[in-house]
Structure 1
C-alpha cells in the first residue's frame, strides 16, 4: 500500500486546522495519503482534481468535497486555484460515532450549479466565511471563528452523517485506527521522553510489530515520526511566539537547538533561524506599510 499517514496539527488556539491549499500556484500533486481527521476542500477560484479510493472527483470554483477519516486520497492541482481547507479531528464528533471511533459523511463533490441540496450552498458558504473571518483577523474574529465552526459541525452531523455502513468498511477503519490511536497519544505527549518499547507495551504490541506498523502505514520509522511531530509544533511556535530557538527546542521535546535545527532543515529545507528572520522581516514591512 503506497500511501502515507499525514500528521495534522490544529491552528494555535483552535480545535481544528484551517488554511489555504498549498498547491495554489498549480502544477502540484499531493500524493496518496490518509489521516484520521475529516477534511473539507472548498474551491473559491480555479479547480482541483481528487482521487479518493480510486474514484475521480473534479472540483471547480463554488464546489467543495468532504474527505472522510481513513480515506486514501490524492490531490492534483494542475491549474492555479484558491482553495480553503478545513481539517477536523475525529474526536470532535464523539457522541455521534456510528461505531467505535467511526463516523462517515456523504462524500463526493457538493454544491455546483446542478446541486439540488440546499444544505450544500449553506455548507460552502460556511466554509468560505469561516476562512475569511479567520484570515482577516478583525476585532472579535476568534469568537466568530468558533461560532461558525460549531455551526459547520452541526450541519455536518445533522445533514451529512451516514448512519448505515457495511461491516467491511468498519473492519478497514479498525485496521487503520490501530496506528492512529498510537499517533494521537504521541501528539499529546510529544514533549515527554517516548520510547517505542514503552508504547508497544502500553498498546499491547511487540516492539517488532509496532515498528512494522509505522513502516507499513506511516511510511517512516517510529523515531522519524516522533521527530516530525516535534518539528511541526516547533514550527508553529516559531510563527506564533517570540521565544528563542533554544527555548522552543526544549518546549517541544528536543534536547537542544542543534537537534531541532537538524530535523527542521531535513523537513522544511531551511533552518529555524531563517524562518524567524523572515517572520521579523514581514512584521517590519507590515508596520512600515501601516505608517504610510
Structure 2
C-alpha cells in the first residue's frame, strides 16, 4: 500500500474537487481533515462513513483511507509530526505531547465517522485552525511558536472529545461491566507511561476490585490477559514512535516502560520479526513521496 511522505514537520493543504483521484494510502505523519463544504464518503481502515460540511477527522500514520466525492467538496488537510512541537520546547514538553496523542491514536477510528464534539469544542477547533493557518501563511514574528502552541491546543481538544465519546459496545455485557472495562482501558491508556500505576495492585485499588479478580475480569471482557494487553499496547506505541518520530530506541524503551533497549528489542523482534532499527529503515525506505501534480508538494 502507498505511504505518502512529508519531510517538513507541518504543512497545510486547502483543496477543492469534484472527484477524488488518489488511491487508498497511508502517511508518515498525523493528519486532521476538516470538511469545509460538500458531501461524500470517507473510507478509513475499510470502514466507510458519510461526510458533510463541518465534519472533522483525525488520522494516524497507520490509518489507510480515501474519499469518495458525491458533491463538490472543499477540504483542509493539516499534516504534522511531533517535530512541529520541538520549537522552544523542553524534552519533557515534547514527551507530554507524544503521550497526549498516543492516548487517542488507538481510539479515533474505532468510533463511527467524524469526531463527535461536545459543547463549543468544534467552534474552538475552527477558530484555532484559522489562527494556525494565518500564522503559517504569514510567517511573522513568533509564528512557529504560535503554530506549535495552537496545534497543541487543537490536539488536546480533539483528545478530550475522543476520550469522552469512546465507549466500546458489546451486547453481552451489562451496562455496569461495560462502563468498568471501558474505564479500565482508558485508565491504562492514560497511565501506560507510569508502570506502577498500571500494576494489578493499582488497578484493583482504583476500581475497587480484589487483586485476584482483576485478571479474571480483564480477560473475560477483552479476551486476553492484562499482561498480554499491556505488552501489546506498549508495542503498538513503540511502532508508532518508530514511524513518526526520530526518538532513539533507548529513549522509546525508557518512555514506554521497558527495562532497557535490549528488553524492547527482544519483544519487538518476537512480534515484528526484526529489530526496531531495521523496522524503521525498511518502513521509511518503503514510503512513497507525492507524485500527484494536482496536490502539489503536499502529500495526502
TM-score by length of 1: 0.42
RCO higher in structure (CA 8 A, sep ≥6): 2
What is the TM-score of this pair, normalised by structure 2?
0.42
